[in-house]
Amino acid sequence: MIRSGLCFFIFVMFSSLAAEQTRLPLNDYFAETWNTRSGLPHNSINSVAQTNDGYVWIATWEGLARFNGREFKLFTRSEITGLPDSGLRSLAPQADGSLYISGARGGVGHLKERQWIAQNDASAMVNYILKTRTGEMWLALEGEGVTYREFDNGPEHQVLVNLSAYRLVEDDNGLIWAATSDGLYRIENKIAQLVTANSGLPNNSIYSLLLTKQGQLIVAGEKGAWRLVGDMFESIHQLDGESISSLLQDDHDDIWFGTINKGLFRLSEIGLEQLDAEAGLPANRILSLMQDREKSIWVGTNGGVYRLREAPFSSWTKKRGLNGDYVRSVLSRADGSMWVGSSLGLNRIINDKVELIKPAFDQDPLSILSLAEDNQGNVWVGTYTSGLMRVIDKKIYPVINRDNGLLSNEVRALLFDNEQRLWVGSAAGLTRIDADGSLTQFTTKQGLPGDFIMALALDSHGNIWVGTGVGVAMFNSALGEFKGQAFPKQFNAKYAFGFYAQQGFMWMTTDRGLIRFNVITGDIAMLGREQGLPVDKLFQLVAQSDLFWLSSNRGIIQVKQQQVNDFLDDPINTRGQKLQYQLYDEGDGMLSAQANGGSNPAATLHNDGSIWFATSQGASTVIPERIKKTTQISLPTVIENLYVDGKNTPLLYDEEVLFLPPSTSRLSFHYAGLSFIMPQRLNFQTKLLGYNNEWVNRQRLTITEYTNLAPGKYTFMVRAGYPNSPWQDNYKTVNFVIQSYFWQKTSFKLVMFFSLLVLAYGVYQYRLYHYKNIEKQLTIRVEQQTRDLQQQTDAFAHQATHDQLTDLPNRRAFDSWLADNFTDFKQQALPLAIAIMDIDHFKRINDGWSHIIGDRVICVVAHLLSQCGENNASLVARWGGEEFTLLFPNKTAQQAAQLCEELRQEIANYDFSNIASGLTVTVSFGVADSLTVNDYDRLLAQADQALYKAKSNGRNRVEVTSAETFTVG
């Protein structure tokens, strides 16, 4: 049975589709370690498991740790109901998503639907829990054998006693196999039978069991590992004598073996490999093994938990056969080989094997700067100190150097043009080697912007592009001359490290970002830090599918071609937008994020779809399809905590509603995406139904807070996504209601609303009444003020036309009336008589009795005249001083004189003794009418002449201008 174990595994591997995949050597897996410094409670990792929700659980002697990819959450007996001790021995995840844990003092707990359910304690430490298809719980106990319970918390039945049981497994036939300190037991119908040496197993302890996906039973223990074939166990000879503590079958159907003191073994199609503490394991004692849903291998040791995964990037270094780790150039050849130039020589990689390409003549190791392939498939080599060389029959031969025509021995770029002329870019200029071997030299004198050549490229029109330390130049093949292409001053770029030719465009990687040059229109645009790139300096661009891959000193940048073109085509409308990129570095499998540049090609696309980059720690290679498949793995999202006003609040399930008090002012949701491959790069979106109905980008933020939400019903939703990948339908929700105070309830608000309406209406009516009352008062006041003003106006008008002493019309009023009516009387041929009266010897009255007496006399005379006027429809006015005028409408002078005579007699006979003793008053009249005059001035003049005549004739008489004069009898 020579190598039967290996034959078995080869059969197993080729029986599945996974076997068709190429294995990554064990030493080239990307590894990470977590221990107490990372947040674990203890470094002995007794068991590792993953539940359906995506969490990884780790059992230690100091409690249970839950890992979400970013941080550990610790559970001890204070958090786990009914657990007698924090020391945990094993974990048993179930198909329903629940998790059984078992402890050092026989404690058993069950985590189901976020609740811890205490189970009855076992009699000793539980090394393993098995739930059978029929629902029975089987326990492997330390020193107490094997027991079972027909149901959780049921009575315990003993099957094996006085031994230590380590592992239990149920096969497809319902048989239970027990790994114990006495060996392997086969349990059928609750009856245990020891598998003896007659079946092929030695009489030694068995520590672990594995039932493969193909139904094959594998057992491992103190002296090696065996597989069950028919009724016999066959040894896996590669592991004879190894003390094996744990087993695992991965998705490739490879078998992993954890040992007591030799570290980790993997048996696969590439043979048996070992990984121990010298190769990076935290410790050589392996306690548990687990493969998660993302295909990573978790290794529990007594020095921490160790995780192996096929990272996006892998590296070829001296460990894998390269002659040097400092790689400057990588070349993909049409025959499927990869050529890697390092500081210590040239390597050829084909079929995952490295060949060293040595110099034909003994000399110091060559430092390789550049590589190129001609159309016959020959490889040409540019070196640091030895000029241009060529590979012939897997040997490197010199071609040309500074001694025989090359401008410098430092050759950083090589290019064959369309005529198969070789262009050699060196540190001192550019040399063209024609087919006949002739040399043509180009320096700044021939139009180059600088002599230090770092990059060469051929565009779609056959032009040669040259990258230097002070810009680029283009050699026009048709004209045979260089045309400088200076970078715009605002770009502030100088170094051109690499080119990528695309139909109609030439892309340039520079010390200020990525530049795109339109070879047809001459338009030039740049994508740099201002547009969102994380670095200034880019070395090489590789286009693959719809992506650009850019090498830099800080890692490899992946960005979508379309987004780059959108930014460059429309810088105005894309201003303010964020460039979506992915930066890969040491956390993704690169041994160093420092990619090398200034030599060509510094990165290349291989014909198998992989992309290779020259770095300071080997040649890093990435398979984009592997990254794409990784992002297609289902990504669970979990809401881990809800803090209400700073207090952690237990979460309910999706359909349940959480009621929060009305005083709630701040909500803080903590969530995670359960990816352990790229947890730091996951993106999140949230929405809060009832507040906003659109997904809000949270980028990589794992906390969302809301403050001062109004009372009501809300649904918080969150989903996680891989970078540069479509969002999965993986959102999680929390339904909650912020309760309201009574004054915040709708009914109260309605009552208050209608009460306010009534109050507002009452206030309105009151104000309306008030304003109407004010309006009424204002109206009365205005009317009163109007009357007062009118009275005042009338008084002013009266004062203007009446004598203040006698209240008779004054001369102005008299003249106005006479002027207004004289013409009418004349036109109607009606008589109008006028009389002017003067108080006789009035000065004597003033002088003899006083002016006051004189004024009283004037008032009495005015009164007597007014009475006459009222009786005779005549108009009386004070003419001035002691003179008065009288108008007699429709009367002739004779008629008026008769009335005046009556007045004269009445005044003369009036008793003035009540004014002054011995006082007598007489008056004289002058009368005229309109019959003999044509204007009223003339009429006044005649009346005045008649008055003068009366005074001349002795006073106290009436004189008429054209008639007989009346005198006192």
What confidence score (pLDDT) does residue 654 get? 67
pLDDT of residue 68 exceeding 90, the answer is yes
Q: pLDDT band at residue 163, thresholds of 50, 70 and 90?
A: very high
Residue 838 sits in the same domain as residue 759: no
pLDDT of residue 310 exceeding 90, the answer is no
Q: pLDDT band at residue 22, thresholds of 50, 70 and 90?
A: low
Residue 766 sits in the same domain as residue 832: no
What confidence score (pLDDT) does residue 646 get? 92
At 320-333, the pLDDT tens digits run: 899 999 999 999 99
User: At residue 736, what is the residue type?
Assistant: F
Residue 343 DSSP one-character state: T
User: At residue 71, what is the residue type?
Assistant: E
Q: Minimum mean pLDDT among 54-58, 231-235, 585-589, 946-950: which range?
A: 585-589
Mean pLDDT of 199-204: 91
Is 108 contained in some domain?
A: no
Supply 326's token pair. Answer: 């400092």
Work out how many domains the chain is built from and give that number.
5
What is the maximal distance between C-alpha atoms in the chain?
193
Residue 589 sits in the same domain as residue 716: no
Residue 807 sits in the same domain as residue 761: no
In whole angstroms, give the CA distance from residue 505 to residue 521: 10
Is 577 contained in some domain?
A: yes
Residue 441 sits in the same domain as residue 352: yes
Q: What number of CA atoms fall less than 13 Å from residue 659's CA on the CB side?
A: 2
pLDDT of residue 66 exceeding 70, the answer is yes
Is 83 contained in some domain?
A: no
Is 217 contained in some domain?
A: no
What b/e sequence results for 806-821 when a residue is b if at least 16 CB atoms lie within 10 Å of its CB, and e otherwise? bebbbeebbbebbeeb
Is 114 contained in some domain?
A: no
What confidence score (pLDDT) does residue 793 get? 76
Could you tell me which residue, 788 or 965, shows the higher pLDDT? 788
In whole angstroms, give the CA distance from residue 282 to residue 711: 53
Catalytic residue (one of 269, 882, 883, 959): 882
Residue where a domain terminates, one of 292, 311, 330: 311
What confidence score (pLDDT) does residue 930 get? 87
pLDDT of residue 242 exceeding 90, the answer is yes
Residue 812 sits in the same domain as residue 683: no
Domain of residue 935, CATH code? 3.30.70.270
Supply 313's token pair. Answer: 């990037």
Average pLDDT, the chain: 89
Q: pLDDT band at residue 21, thresholds of 50, 70 and 90?
A: very low
Residue 495 sits in the same domain as residue 413: yes
User: At residue 492, what is the residue type?
Assistant: N
User: Considering just the CA atoms, what is the radius of gyration of the chain in Å?
Assistant: 61
What confidence score (pLDDT) does residue 17 get? 35
Supply 819's token pair. Answer: 């002027």
Residue where a domain terminates, one of 769, 800, 831: 800
Q: pLDDT band at residue 962, thresholds of 50, 70 and 90?
A: low
pLDDT of residue 751 exceeding 70, the answer is yes
Mean pLDDT of 892-898: 90
User: At residue 294, what is the residue type?
Assistant: E
Catalytic site includes residue 882: yes
Domain of residue 694, CATH code? 2.60.40.10
Mean pLDDT of 522-548: 92
SS3 for 575-642 is CCCCCCEEEECHHHCCCCCCECCCCCCCEEECCCCCEEEEECCEEEEECHHHHHHHHCCCCCEEEEEE
User: At residue 622, what is the residue type?
Assistant: V
pLDDT of residue 830 exceeding 80, the answer is yes
pLDDT of residue 23 exceeding 80, the answer is no
| Residue 401: C-alpha distances to residues 123, 133, 356, 423 (Å) | 83, 77, 23, 14
- Asked if 936 contacts 824 with a C-beta cutoff of 8 angstroms, the reply is no
What confidence score (pLDDT) does residue 24 get? 76
% of the chain with per-residue pLDDT over 90: 60
Is 59 contained in some domain?
A: no
Residues 6+ apart with CB under 8 A from 745: none
Q: Which residue from 352, 349, 320 is spatially nearest to 333, judged by alpha carbons?
A: 349
What confidence score (pLDDT) does residue 6 get? 39
Mean pLDDT of 727-731: 91
Residue 330 sits in the same domain as residue 254: no
Residue 492 sits in the same domain as residue 551: yes
Is 588 contained in some domain?
A: yes
Q: Minimum mean pLDDT among 290-299, 633-642, 720-729, 740-749: which range?
A: 740-749
What confidence score (pLDDT) does residue 19 get? 35
pLDDT of residue 13 exceeding 80, the answer is no
In whole angstroms, give the CA distance from residue 543 to residue 159: 65
The dihedral region occupied by 532, where left means phi > 0, alpha psi between -120 and 50, and beta the remainder, is left
Residue 427 sits in the same domain as residue 333: yes
In whole angstroms, give the CA distance from residue 53 to residue 674: 8
pLDDT of residue 926 exceeding 60, the answer is yes
Is 163 contained in some domain?
A: no
Is the previous residue joined to 601 through a cis bond, with omega within 30 degrees of 0? yes
Residue 511 sits in the same domain as residue 529: yes
Q: Residue 300's Cα: distance from chain center in Å? A: 40
Q: pLDDT band at residue 612, thresholds of 50, 70 and 90?
A: very high
Domain of residue 517, CATH code? 2.130.10.10
Residue 787: give the domain boundaries: 745-800
Mean pLDDT of 801-822: 84
What confidence score (pLDDT) does residue 129 get? 97
Could you tell me which residue, 812 or 64, shows the higher pLDDT? 64
Ranges assigned E (strand) in 443-512: 453-458, 464-468, 471-476, 481-485, 496-502, 505-510
Residue 307: Cβ within 10 Å count: 21
- Asked if 890 contacts 955 with a C-beta cutoff of 8 angstroms, the reply is no
Q: What is the DSSP string of 158-212?
A: EEE-SS-EEEEEE-TTS-EEEEETTEEEEEETTEEEE--GGGT--SS-EEEEEE-
**Where do we find the tokens 């090489």?**
540
Residue 647 sits in the same domain as residue 782: no
Residue where a domain terminates, one of 736, 760, 781: 736
State the helix-helix crossing angle for 893-909 and 851-872, rounded to 10 degrees. Answer: 140
In whole angstroms, give the CA distance from residue 343 to residue 918: 158
In whole angstroms, give the CA distance from residue 578 to residue 582: 12
